[in-house]
Amino acid sequence: MTTALDDQTTAEWMETVARSAIYALLSHAISYPTADRIHALRTDVRPLLTEVATDDNELGDALRNVLESLDTPLADLQHAFDMQFSHITSPDCPAHETAFSIRDVFQQAQVMADIAGFFGAHGVEVGASEKERPDHIGAELEFMSLLARKEAHAVRAGLTEQLNETRRTQVIFLRDHLGCWGPSFGRRVAKLAESPLYRSVGELLTRWLEADMAALAVEPAFDLDEPAPMAPQESDDEPCGLGGAECGATEDQLIDIETIK
C-alpha cells in the first residue's frame, strides 16, 4: 500500500520533472531547430507536458500552442526561426544577457565568468562542438532544466543535501541572472515575432519565468525592462557585444548548449 508520504514524494517528483521539461522545451524552442532537437522535443519532452495542468489559463494556452507547433515540418520551423532570429542580435532584442544588461565589455566578461562558474559547479562543460556564449538565453534555460532534473533525482532518492543545494542554486541563478532579463526578452520576442510559433514561445517564456519565480519566492536582483543602449561605435570593426570574441569573451567562456542534457 502506498503511504501518504510516498504520494507526496511522487507528486513533488512529478512536478519537478515537469519544471525541467518546460525549461528544456523553452531552451530548444529558442535555439535553431535541428532534426535531433525537434525529435527530442517530440519524443522526450512533449509526453511529459501534455497533461500538465495549471491555474493560469494564458500560461496553459501558450504551453499547448508551443507543443502543438512541434508537429510543424522541420523546414518550416527553420524558416520561422530564421525570420524571427535573424534580427535577434539587434539592439531591440539581444539574445544574450550581457548584451541585454550592460554594454561595457569588461563587465560583460565578469558576468559571463560568473555564469560559467555556475555551470562548472554542476558539471557543465564550457566550450565544445557547438560554441555558444554561456549568457545565451538558450544556455541559461537549459541550465535551469539541468538543475530541475538534479532536484527531481534528489527528491526521488531522498538526498536531502543535494536537494537543498539544487534548489538554492536555482533560486540564486534566477535572482541574479535569468530572472532579471528573461521575462523582458520573452515579451520582446512575442511582440516582434511574425510567426505564431515564436509569439507563443515568447509568451510562454515570460509567463513561465514569472510563475516559476513566484512559486520559488524569487525576487530578481534587478528588473531589465529593456536592453541596455548600444555604445556609439567609431568604425565597423569595433565590437558589437553580440558575438563570442566580439563581446570580450575568451574561448573558455563559450558553452556548448547541447552538452547540458
Lowest model confidence (mean pLDDT) among 36-45, 88-97, 143-152, 163-172: 88-97
Distance CA(260)–CA(23), nearest Å, equals 12
b/e per residue 227-254 (b: at least 16 CB within 10 A): bbeeeeeeeeeeebbbebeebbbeeebb
- Looking at residue 90, its pLDDT comes to 58
pLDDT digits (tens, 9 = 90+) for 224-255: 877 766 554 444 444 333 333 333 333 444 34
pLDDT of residue 81 exceeding 80, the answer is: yes
Distance CA(28)–CA(30), nearest Å, equals 5
> Which residue type, as a one-letter code, is found at position 28?
H
pLDDT of residue 131 exceeding 70, the answer is: no
- Looking at residue 228, its pLDDT comes to 63
Lowest model confidence (mean pLDDT) among 111-120, 131-140, 201-210: 131-140
Q: What is the CATH number of the domain that holds 214?
A: 1.10.3480.10
Distance CA(103)–CA(99), nearest Å, equals 6
One DSSP character per residue, 37-104 reads: HHHHIIIIIHHHHTT---S-HHHHHHHHHHHHHTTS-HHHHHHHHHHHHTTTTSTTS-SBHHHHH---
Distance CA(217)–CA(213), nearest Å, equals 6
What is the average per-residue pLDDT within 117-143?
83
pLDDT digits (tens, 9 = 90+) for 173-192: 999 999 999 999 999 999 98
Higher pLDDT, 43 or 91: 43
Banded model confidence at residue 124, pLDDT cuts 50, 70, 90: confident
**Number of residues assigned to the chain:** 261
Q: How many domains does the chain have?
A: 1
Where does 122-178 have alpha helices with state H? 137-157, 160-173
Mean pLDDT estimate for the chain: 82
Instruction: Please identify which residue in the block is written with the cell numbers 525570420.
Output: 83
Measured from the Cβ of residue 86, the count of other Cβ atoms closer than 10 Å reads: 9
User: Looking at the DSSP assignment, which residues form a beta bridge with residue 132?
Assistant: 255
Give the single-character DSSP code of 228.
Answer: P
Lowest model confidence (mean pLDDT) among 22-36, 100-114, 205-219: 100-114
- Looking at residue 162, its pLDDT comes to 95
pLDDT digits (tens, 9 = 90+) for 67-79: 999 999 999 999 8
Write down the pTM of the prediction: 0.84
Instruction: Please identify which residue in the block is written with the cell numbers 548600444.
Output: 230
What is the average per-residue pLDDT within 77-85?
85
Range of 129's domain?
4-231+238-259
In sign, the C-alpha dihedral spanning 192, 135, 176, 156 is positive
pLDDT of residue 94 exceeding 90, the answer is: no
- Looking at residue 74, its pLDDT comes to 94
